[in-house]
């Protein structure tokens, strides 16, 4: 009888926690990046929620090639259509809001929100808020050329009076190669890791007080152990905000 009572109390506690947190949807673009963010979500949940009371998280992805093709054509409406398709599928299985941890497509979030059945959280907003909280005036960013030369971070940081410094053209080409040829496949080469650390060092010389990891796979190579410049891991910051939003 005692075991049955304990089991019923546990089940009721789990049901209460499930009702207290919203169902989270992850719109996956890069599979490697989405899987890292999935882990980050539950690491934050382990700290912010009661033990083992994890929120429900669902992931939907469309083949990365379709995103890459649309981005290279500068067809952001198609990028948004792909993202919205994932959001609709996530909503159909109960997700109450969604986000994407992929930096390269943040520019299309506002387009994807149009006619979306569930709300979207925007990662660049979360990162800008965190940098503002830390009172940084100048930060660097690493990522693909779509991130470093794009307007997503420029806009959200600019309205807060924070200067964004991008890598030089040669470093941008090198980052693009490392990310698309290695990191999206989970490949980690010491030579590429050293090159990425050197790029961050050059951003520090330019006066950066921190660096945004504007690539969801970048934490595979860059950590606080191999650079002394404060790191803003965009997908991890987004994961923490998603847990907070799910608890609200």
Residue with the two structure tokens 């847990």: 243
Give the separation between CA 65 and CA 145, rounded to whole angstroms: 17
Would you state the pLDDT for residue 5? 45
Which regions in the chain score pLDDT beneath 50?
5-11, 13-14, 17-18
Contacts (Cβ under 8 Å, ≥6 apart) of 135 = none
Would you state the pLDDT for residue 2? 53
Query: φ and ψ at 231, to 5 degrees?
Result: -105, 135
Would you state the pLDDT for residue 170? 97
Count Cβ atoms below 10 Å from residue 183 Cβ, excluding itself: 25
Would you state the pLDDT for residue 51? 78
For 17-76, how does the pLDDT look when each residue is reduced to its tens digit (9 = 90+)? 445 799 999 999 999 999 999 999 999 999 998 877 789 999 999 999 999 999 999 999
Equal CATH topology for 2-122+237-247 and 124-233: yes
Would you state the pLDDT for residue 54? 84
Would you state the pLDDT for residue 52? 75
Contacts (Cβ under 8 Å, ≥6 apart) of 90 = 25, 26, 27, 58, 60, 98, 118
Q: What is Dmax (Cα atoms) for the chain?
A: 70
| Length of the chain in terms of residues written | 248
Domain boundaries, the chain: 2-122+237-247, 124-233
CATH number given to 2-122+237-247: 3.40.50.1860
Give the separation between CA 146 and CA 7, rounded to whole angstroms: 51
Count Cβ atoms below 10 Å from residue 190 Cβ, excluding itself: 8
Give the separation between CA 23 and CA 240, rounded to whole angstroms: 15
The correct CATH number of 124-233 out of 2.102.10.10, 3.40.50.1860, 3.40.50.2300, 2.40.10.480 is: 3.40.50.1860
Q: Answer for the pair 27, 98: CB distance below 8 angstroms, yes or no.
A: yes
Task: Give Cα 55 to chain centroid, integer Å.
Answer: 18
Q: Answer for the pair 232, 142: CB distance below 8 angstroms, yes or no.
A: no
Would you state the pLDDT for residue 4? 54
pLDDT over 70 for what percent of the chain? 92
């Amino acid at each position: 009888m005692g075991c049955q009572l304990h089991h019923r109390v546990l089940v009721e506690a789990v049901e209460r926690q499930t009702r207290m947190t919203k169902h989270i949807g992850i719109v996956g673009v890069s599979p490697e990046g989405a899987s890292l963010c999935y882990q980050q979500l539950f690491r934050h949940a382990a700290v912010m929620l009661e033990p083992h009371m994890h929120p429900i998280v669902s992931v939907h992805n469309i083949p990365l090639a379709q995103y890459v093709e649309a981005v290279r054509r500068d067809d952001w409406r198609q990028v948004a259509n792909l993202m919205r398709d994932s959001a609709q599928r996530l909503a159909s299985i109960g997700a109450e809001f969604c986000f994407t941890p992929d930096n390269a497509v943040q520019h299309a979030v506002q387009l994807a929100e149009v006619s979306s059945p569930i709300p979207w959280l925007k990662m660049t907003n979360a990162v800008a808020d965190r940098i503002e909280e830390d009172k940084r005036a100048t930060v660097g960013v690493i990522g693909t050329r779509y991130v470093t030369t794009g307007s997503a971070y420029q806009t959200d940081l600019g309205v807060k009076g924070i200067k964004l410094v991008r890598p030089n053209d040669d470093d941008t080409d090198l980052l693009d190669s490392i990310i698309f040829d290695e990191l999206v496949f989970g490949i980690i080469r010491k030579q590429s890791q050293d090159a990425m650390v050197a790029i961050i060092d050059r951003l520090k010389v330019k006066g950066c007080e921190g660096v945004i990891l504007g690539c969801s796979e970048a934490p595979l190579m860059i950590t606080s152990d191999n650079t002394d410049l404060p790191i803003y891991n965009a997908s991890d910051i987004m994961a923490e905000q998603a847990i907070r939003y799910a608890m609200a």
